[in-house]
Chain A
């Protein structure tokens, strides 16, 4: 079926998409703040600060690039982007962390190229002391409805559904919550994220979920409440309305609670 290629206004395009893709609108009809296309990509690229990125990328307010939707769809080429980062940096070393993170994308793609559709299967056993069968198949309803009561969890679920984008720290921590705190197979969470992310990428997404779960890493990734508060720059406490948090305690205490 041939579709329209010219539109008077952006609103016109959005309305047309809503009518032409009712199946996607049924999943979520929100429209993101990110604009597609090379102009929007160039504008993002003009704002990146590789040195600040290296220092602050792990904080919500840090100098992250938000280039991922453009890289995922080839609006920006990975090699071109790496060259551009070097051009605007005093030396490649000054941009080390950003260049390395861009190389992670290349790494995930090479792994996917090798393993193909088995990217949906556990690459290794869980290192949590649990078997794959101990994890639930489906995401819990209170999670999907953003009704767990925990500010970080509900806020992150809503943010993904509405914006199609999450800071990397939010992705890792929500994945850890799903797999380790709710004991759900990583595949359920990975599929949920792929459905909503503007940069939804089978390689980066699934293999990062496997890294968190420990099926593609030597140990599971977990976090605690102090770490969450710090990473989110105070946006979230990680607690419910009564001040109770499943993330409270030291890493050893949390490990003892979560894993046999």
Chain B
């Protein structure tokens, strides 16, 4: 039977992403911390968020290597994670061959929606965001 793990990245720090039967891992990305010069208060904030996700294994290092290692430990054949526009997460996810899970969007817009200015986006999104039936 195929078994998947969840790779919890820094845009999905909610217990809602954790399933009881699915092993999950979060990796403090050393390259990200170094390149963006993250200060301690940010690390602490993220770690405090992880405290509410107690079944998630916390690691530090190279994300692709650590998630791959976690996969092997759990004899998993697949990795699930949430979509993200962050180039860093897209790149790591592609290397890991993850299955992307899309959170519910705030508005369903065509792929070629004009994003040149917010006003153009808002003309398309406003009705859906402002509808009263949510």
Report which A residues bind B (CB closer than 8 A).
1-7, 10, 13-14, 17-18, 20-21, 23-25, 27-32, 34-40, 69, 72-79, 82-83, 86, 91-93, 96, 99-100, 102-104, 106-107, 109-114, 116-117, 119, 161, 163-164, 191, 194-198, 200, 202-203
* CB <8 Å contact, B51 and A36: yes
User: Dominant SS at the B interface?
Assistant: mixed
A182→B49 CA distance, assembly (Å): 37
Q: Is B1 an interface residue (CB 8 A)?
A: no
Q: Provided the pairs A7-B51, A20-B60, A36-B44 are in contact, do residues A195 and B130 lie with their beta carbons within 8 angstroms?
A: no
Query: Number of residues in B with C-beta < 8 Å to the partner?
Result: 59
> Chain B residues near A197 (CB, 8 Å)?
42
* CB <8 Å contact, A195 and B36: yes
> Chain A residues near B132 (CB, 8 Å)?
86, 91-92
A3→B104 CA distance, assembly (Å): 32
A163→B45 CA distance, assembly (Å): 11
- CB-defined interface of B60-100 with A at 8 Å, one 1/0 digit per residue? 11000010000000000000001001110010000000000
* CB <8 Å contact, B103 and A77: yes
A86→B14 CA distance, assembly (Å): 22
Nearest 7 Cβ contacts at the A-B interface = A36-B48, A113-B85, A36-B49, A28-B39, A195-B37, A112-B85, A32-B41
> Chain B residues near A14 (CB, 8 Å)?
44
Shortest distance between the CB of A139 and any CB in chain B (Å): 12
A109→B113 CA distance, assembly (Å): 13
* CB <8 Å contact, B106 and A103: yes
Chain A residue nearest to B58 in the complex (CB): A3
A4→B43 CA distance, assembly (Å): 14
> Chain A residues near B17 (CB, 8 Å)?
74
* CB <8 Å contact, A107 and B121: yes
> Chain B residues near A163 (CB, 8 Å)?
41
* CB <8 Å contact, A18 and B82: no
* CB <8 Å contact, B36 and A82: no
Contact of B49 among A37, A104, A107 (CB under 8 A): A37
Q: Looking at A7, A28, A96, A163, which has the most chain B CB atoms within 10 Å of its CB?
A: A28
Q: Provided the pairs A37-B52, A114-B115, A200-B36 are in contact, do residues A28 and B134 lie with their beta carbons within 8 angstroms?
A: no
A78→B51 CA distance, assembly (Å): 22
Contact of A2 among B49, B58, B86, B129 (CB under 8 A): B58
Shortest distance between the CB of B57 and any CB in chain A (Å): 7
> Chain A residues near B129 (CB, 8 Å)?
82, 92, 99-100, 102-103
* CB <8 Å contact, A74 and B39: no
* CB <8 Å contact, B85 and A203: yes
* CB <8 Å contact, A73 and B39: no
A188→B60 CA distance, assembly (Å): 27
* CB <8 Å contact, A17 and B40: yes
* CB <8 Å contact, A102 and B106: yes
> Chain A residues near B39 (CB, 8 Å)?
24, 27-30, 161, 164, 195-196
Shortest distance between the CB of A78 and any CB in chain B (Å): 6
Chain A residue nearest to B59 in the complex (CB): A2
A111→B41 CA distance, assembly (Å): 28
Known A75-B49, A92-B131; 13 more pairs at CB < 8 Å: A1-B60, A4-B58, A21-B28, A21-B60, A24-B33, A24-B39, A27-B37, A36-B13, A73-B13, A78-B106, A99-B130, A112-B85, A164-B45
